[in-house]
Structure 1
Amino acid sequence: MARRPTIKDIARQAGVSESAVSFALNNRPGVSQDTRARIRRVAEELGWQPNSAARALSGEQSGAVGLVLARPAHTLGVESFFLQLVSGIQEVLAAGRIALLFQVVEDLDAECAVYRRWWAERRVDGVVVVDPRTDDPRPALLEQLALPAVTVGETGPVSVSSASSDSAPSDSVVPALSAVRADDAGAMAQVLDHLHGLGHRRIAHVAGMPGLAHTERRITSLRAEARRLGLGPGQVRSVTTDYSDAEGAEATRRILAEPEPPTAIVYDNDVMAVAGVAVASELGIPVPGGLSVVAWDDSALCRVTRPRLTALVRDTAGFGRLAAEELLALLAGGRPRSRESELPRLEPRESTAPPPAAY
Structure 2
Amino acid sequence: MAAAHVTISGLADRLGLSKASVSYALNGRPGVSEETRARVLALADELGWHPSSSARALSRARSDAIGIVLRRDPSLLGAEPYYMSLLAGVEAELATTGQSLLLRMVGPDGGQDSAAYRRWSAERRVDGVMLFDIAVRDPRPALLDDLGIEFVVHGNRDDVAPGHVLLYDADEDARLLVEHVADLGHRSLLHVSGPDEFEHELERRDAIARHARVHGIRVAAVASDYSMDAGDRLVGERLGEDQEPFAVVTSNDLLALGAQEAVARVARRDVAVASWDDSLLCRLGSRPITALDRFPEEQGRRATRMLLDRLQRSDAPALRARRSVLVPRATSVPAP
Deviation at 1:336, TM superposition (A): 6.0
Give distance in 2, aligned partners of 1:352 and 1:297.
15
Runs of 4+ in 1 over 6 A off after TM superposition: none
Residue 201, structure 1, aligned to residue 187, structure 2: yes
Give distance in 2, aligned partners of 1:346 and 1:127.
30
How do residues 120-135 of structure 1 correspond to structure 2 at under 5 angstroms?
Answer: 120-135=122-137
Give distance in 1, aligned partners of 2:312 and 2:80.
33
**TM-score (structure 2 length as normaliser):** 0.79
Residue 181, structure 1, aligned to residue 192, structure 2: no
1:66 paired residue number:
67
User: Helix, strand or coil for the counterpart of 2:194?
Assistant: coil
Which one has a bigger Cα radius of gyration?
A: 1
How do residues 64-143 of structure 1 correspond to structure 2 at under 5 angstroms?
Answer: 64-106=65-107, 107-143=109-145
Which of these residues, 218, 222, 238, is aligned with residue 221 of structure 2?
238
User: RMSD of the alignment, in Å?
Assistant: 2.0
Q: Percent identity?
A: 35
| Conserved 8 A contact 1:128-1:327 | yes
| Conserved 8 A contact 1:151-1:177 | no
| Conserved 8 A contact 2:141-2:161 | no
User: Helix, strand or coil for the counterpart of 1:124?
Assistant: coil
User: Helix, strand or coil for the counterpart of 1:293?
Assistant: strand
Gaps of 5+ in 2: 1-55
Aligned residues: 280
Give distance in 1, aligned partners of 2:226 and 2:322.
23
Deviation at 1:230, TM superposition (A): 2.7
Deviation at 1:263, TM superposition (A): 1.2
**TM-score (structure 1 length as normaliser):** 0.74
User: Helix, strand or coil for the counterpart of 1:339?
Assistant: coil
Deviation at 1:108, TM superposition (A): 3.1
User: Helix, strand or coil for the counterpart of 1:101?
Assistant: strand
Residues 259 and 353 from structure 1, CA distance in 2 versus in 1: closer, same or farther, beyond 3 angstroms? closer
How do residues 141-152 of structure 1 correspond to structure 2 at under 5 angstroms?
Answer: 141-152=143-154
Give distance in 1, aligned partners of 2:180 and 2:231.
22
| Conserved 8 A contact 2:78-2:84 | no
Give distance in 1, aligned partners of 2:57 and 2:208.
47
Give distance in 1, aligned partners of 2:80 and 2:160.
34
1:320 paired residue number:
300
Gaps of 5+ in 1: 1-54, 159-172
Residues 245 and 175 from structure 1, CA distance in 2 versus in 1: closer, same or farther, beyond 3 angstroms? closer
Q: 1:162-219: per-residue Cα shift (whole Å, max 9, x none)?
A: xxxxxxxxxxx89456111211110110111111111100011111122111111110
